Amino acid sequence: MHAEWPQRWVRERLGYEPGDPGLFAAALTHRSATRPHNERLEFLGDAVLNLLVAEHLYRAFPDADEGDLSRLRARIVSREPLAEIAVELSLGEALQLGSGELKTGGFRRQSILADAFEAVCGALYLDGGIEAARRIIERLMEPRIARLPAAAALKDAKTRLQEYVQSRGLPLPRYELERTEGEAHEQTFWVVCEVEGLRRRASGQGRSRRRAEQEAAEHVLGEIEAAP
């Protein structure tokens, strides 16, 4: 690749003028290619991303508790959304990969793209400091943060039902395995969820006991919401 490759990509895709092009050359180099590669920068960039996204969510969702904020952050700082950002930035086209990864399409692999994007965030932090990293990361993340659902909508049905009864001083829901069907490797579980204080009872089914419990809790919540 041409010697100007990392500077050109950083300028064109991030709108940033690198002070140390070597940092970004390393960030855009997979371990299958050569050294220095991007694993150490990936480690740092993961921490930078988590900090800046957590800070943004803290300010954007003032009523969200710790669990809500953690669930919201997981929607943003995880492999799939980070890989999507990498694709939007044409990061795969800028990556240096070894011949084996090139042959198997490594420049399209989610894990490689997400890791490389984290490495770029680490390089931004080292090269320009936290403010430079914040400015670019927030610009890239803002559309996704704006599309996040309400924090409560990210909670699973069992958590929402438990919080509902606890807020009313009622006994916790009880889950009872009613029966299982099918062979050991392909079973269906039937579970009943009962909330004595509300006189609510519903069943659910799933390929695991946990899924069956979630479905039963969802049905109980549906009855509660439908009640006059």
Cis peptide before 81 (omega within 30 of 0): no
What is the domain-level CATH number for residue 112? 1.10.1520.10
Give yes or no: residues 139 and 176 share one domain. no
From 114, 149, 184, the end of a domain falls on 149
Could you confirm whether 118 is annotated as catalytic?
yes
Could you confirm whether 156 is annotated as catalytic?
no
Q: How high is the pLDDT of residue 1? A: 47
Give yes or no: residues 127 and 168 share one domain. no
Q: Provide the token pair at 182.
A: 């099918």
pLDDT class of 197 with cuts at 50, 70, 90:
confident
Give yes or no: residues 67 and 20 share one domain. yes
Q: Total structural domains in the chain?
A: 2
Give yes or no: residues 144 and 43 share one domain. yes
Give yes or no: residues 104 and 208 share one domain. no
Tens-place pLDDT, residues 101-121 = 877 777 788 999 999 999 999
Domain holding 33, by residue range, is 5-149
List 42, 101, 115, 118, catalytic entry: 118
List 46, 68, 101, 115, catalytic entry: 46
Average pLDDT over residues 60-87: 90
Q: How high is the pLDDT of residue 174? A: 95
Torsion angle of alpha carbons 44, 111, 3, 99, nearest 10°? 130
Spell out the residues 6+ positions from residue 46 whose beta carbon is closer than 8 angstroms to its own: 77, 118, 122
Give yes or no: residues 126 and 162 share one domain. no
What is the domain-level CATH number for residue 211? 3.30.160.20
From 149, 175, 210, the end of a domain falls on 149
